[in-house]
Chain A
């Protein structure tokens, strides 16, 4: 198994785990014409939910971009994102997982990776940049699991030189 030398000193512990309390899940239906990620962030925020695990169960997409990984030519990090790949619709989402939580500046982010099939039957997948996934006619359905007592919040990670979601206890 190949490992990579990260820009910063390895941090301990290597595995982090915090316990969150179970809560009722929410099935969220998004109407067409909005962005998948900002639509979910906005809909959940309106219900007071800013920390969640999200599964997108279905989505019809009119146009979208995704990013895949690449080596970082600057050497500042072991990997970065390449340029976006744009897909014209109709694109059918097959699955997507997301983590909702506050980003480095406190704004709520949905970190989401998806696998989709394009209009010609080709498979694609990667990181979804916010604002670049316009929902088509039948919109999207997602299952959100709110995280209480513990959740993810972004903080600068000196090992990887990225701001990353970290498990955190949430004060009641």
Chain B
């Protein structure tokens, strides 16, 4: 019988106060920050920042948005470490470009350079 839901008990523990500097990729930089500080699993609690340009994925669509100065409006998601210990971020959110057009999707790895800053608060998820 296949399982239709799987659970992981745990609790939210330490809070990481993070800043990413300009020209670093959003997804890989957040993963690197976690790796450097031994943060294995975490969720996004809050984030405010901007991107030079943005590339989002939504289903089979790839949404390319030209900046600079794209505002990250909301950011949600989690970071998980696999059996190999590598931290992988799955980050989704909404952005606005300079013409105030709003877009949403999953941030594509390696294609979302930070413009001025990313202020990010993560909270560690510790499985029981």
Residues of A within 8 A of B (CB): 1-4, 6, 10-11, 14-22, 53-55, 66, 68-71, 77-82, 85, 94-99, 111-115, 123-127, 145, 147, 150-152, 157, 159-160, 162, 164-167
Residue of B nearest to A144 (CB): B46
Residues of B within 8 A of A68 (CB): 69, 71, 96-100
In contact, B48 and A55 (Cβ under 8 angstroms): no
Residues of B within 8 A of A164 (CB): 19, 116-117, 119
The secondary-structure label for the interface of chain A is: strand
- Distance between A12 CB and nearest chain B CB, rounded to angstroms: 9
Residues of B within 8 A of A94 (CB): 74
Residues of B within 8 A of A66 (CB): 100
Residues of B within 8 A of A (CB): 12-25, 29, 32-33, 36-37, 39, 45-48, 50, 52-53, 67-75, 94-100, 102, 110-113, 115-117, 119, 121, 123
In contact, A78 and B123 (Cβ under 8 angstroms): no
A123 to B97: give the CA distance in the assembly, Å: 12
In contact, A17 and B46 (Cβ under 8 angstroms): no
Residue of A nearest to B11 (CB): A22
- Distance between A102 CB and nearest chain B CB, rounded to angstroms: 14
In contact, A147 and B17 (Cβ under 8 angstroms): yes
Known pairs A69-B115, A152-B17; A145 contacts B99 (CB<8 A) = no
In contact, B47 and A79 (Cβ under 8 angstroms): no
Beyond contacts A69-B70, A115-B96, A145-B123: 7 other A-B pairs, Cβ-Cβ < 8 A, are A10-B23, A20-B17, A53-B15, A68-B71, A69-B71, A152-B17, A167-B17
Q: Can you report 7 A-B residue pairs in the complex whose CB atoms are below 8 A from each other?
A: A3-B23, A11-B21, A17-B36, A20-B17, A21-B14, A21-B15, A115-B73
In contact, A79 and B16 (Cβ under 8 angstroms): no
- Distance between B55 CB and nearest chain A CB, rounded to angstroms: 9
Which 4 A-B pairs have CB atoms at the shortest separation, nearest pair first? A69-B69, A79-B69, A53-B46, A53-B121
A78 to B53: give the CA distance in the assembly, Å: 13
Residues of B within 8 A of A162 (CB): 116-117
Residue of B nearest to A114 (CB): B73
- Distance between B59 CB and nearest chain A CB, rounded to angstroms: 18
Residues of A within 8 A of B24 (CB): 14-15
In contact, A80 and B74 (Cβ under 8 angstroms): no
- Distance between A103 CB and nearest chain B CB, rounded to angstroms: 13
Which of A21, A95, A99, A111 sits near B73, CB closer than 8 Å? Answer: A95
In contact, B96 and A126 (Cβ under 8 angstroms): yes
